[in-house]
Structure 1
Amino acid sequence: MSEATKNILIIEDEFSIAMDMEMRLQKMGYNVAGTAFSYNEALPLLLEQDIDIVLLDINLNSEKSGIDLGKLIRDKFNIPIMFITAYTDAKTFAEAAEAEPMGFITKPVKDADLRNNIELALNKFAQKVIANTEIETNSNSIFIKDKGVLKQVNLHDIQWIEALDNYTVVHTAGENHIVHAFLKDVLMKLGNSFVRIHRSHAVSLKHITSIEDNLVYIGSEFLVVSQNYKNELTDRMKIL
């Protein structure tokens, strides 16, 4: 299992299969963030929930197929998908491949296949994100790709960074920059002058003006420190 519990969305039109899969995933230690039985039921879950991977039936027995939904997830949500199907013919696989899934699982689904393919898909997607992270660094600056143009941002000007769905917002005093990458991947490139204080936030140590209870202040702005990251912040600060 990876370092944090992964949130999985199941989209499967057969109730018994969906419920069986949900139970098995929970026993494996995953969190099932939701279960949908159609294209339309899946949309609000995709918008409202924090999803790490989608298990998607190719045949949803509705006007729009799982392949249609897979393409939408790829284009609008940037969440990895893995198709589940009873069909193994070349035509189905060729059509499904257009949605760029991270893998396929054939029915009936075995526990080992389910677990192994989920972990492989998550790792494959993470490597894809790292390779496509729109940020490059040198000793003093980062270069953020914006509409094909590289913009230079001084590392000392970055006050804090924020996870926003599958994007990261880099906050400076003057402006904000959006990077198409996960927060943890951006942190890897920024170096150790930043510390994570929340699942969704990391701050520059040099820009912290004060800490009060579970709040970190950057000038007049404040961010919440979650309990899971409080010790890390304390360890990184030079407290007399």
Structure 2
Amino acid sequence: MSANKILIVEDEAVVSLDISRRLEKMGYEVMGRLASGEEAIELIQQERPDLVLMDINLQGEMDGIETATKLYKDHNLPVIYLTAYAGQSTLERAKESKPYGYILKPFKERELHAAIEIAISRHETE
């Protein structure tokens, strides 16, 4: 069985690298680390991940919620938000994008691993 491919969309390079290392340690394949929603959409035209970990604050014109909404509608990709933003208005906007999870930073590896496994299993079932 091949490792699940995960795309990281995170505007902070140090945070992105840390997440990447943690995912690889858990046995996942990191197919990319991108800083903007536009880059994510462009990459997904060429290669499809099994899951996207998405920050809400991104570089570029689109924020993470707009990007996640487009990825779900156009490509039926599961997205887990991995963000420091927990305000009620942000959470309400995020819910509309039909995410498969919402994890607040800083996170524990066990929580991230469990959320990824559940999201991938749910997506495969649906």
TM-score w.r.t. structure 2 length? 0.94
Listed as ranges, the gaps of 5+ residues in structure 2 are none
Tell me how far apart the structure 2 counterparts of residues 123 and 81 of structure 1 sit (CA, whole Å): 13
Letter in 1 for 2:33: T
Residue equivalent to 1:120: 118
Give the Å deviation of 1:117.
Answer: 0.6
Q: How many pairs does the alignment contain?
A: 126
Tell me how far apart the structure 1 counterparts of residues 108 and 14 of structure 2 sit (CA, whole Å): 15
TM-score w.r.t. structure 1 length? 0.51
Tell me how far apart the structure 1 counterparts of residues 6 and 84 of structure 2 sit (CA, whole Å): 20
Q: Is the 8 A contact 2:9 2:34 kept in 1?
A: yes
Q: Which has the higher contact order (CA 8 A, sep 6+)?
A: 2
1:155-170 to 2 correspondence within 5 Å? none
Give the Å deviation of 1:7.
Answer: 0.3
Secondary structure in 1 matching 2:98? coil
Letter in 2 for 1:78: N
Give the Å deviation of 1:62.
Answer: 3.4
**1:149-189 deviation line (CA, Å, top 9, x unaligned):** xxxxxxxxxxxxxxxxxxxxxxxxxxxxxxxxxxxxxxxxx
Give the Å deviation of 1:63.
Answer: 2.4
Residue equivalent to 1:70: 68
Greater strand fraction, Structure 1 or Structure 2: 1
Ranges of 4+ aligned residues in structure 1 off by more than 3 Å: none
Tell me how far apart the structure 1 counterparts of residues 78 and 100 of structure 2 sit (CA, whole Å): 6
Tell me how far apart the structure 1 counterparts of residues 13 and 82 of structure 2 sit (CA, whole Å): 14
Greater helix fraction, Structure 1 or Structure 2: 2
Give the Å deviation of 1:61.
Answer: 4.1
Residue equivalent to 1:42: 40
Listed as ranges, the gaps of 5+ residues in structure 1 are 130-240
Residue equivalent to 2:31: 33
1:183-198 to 2 correspondence within 5 Å? none
Tell me how far apart the structure 1 counterparts of residues 30 and 2 of structure 2 sit (CA, whole Å): 14
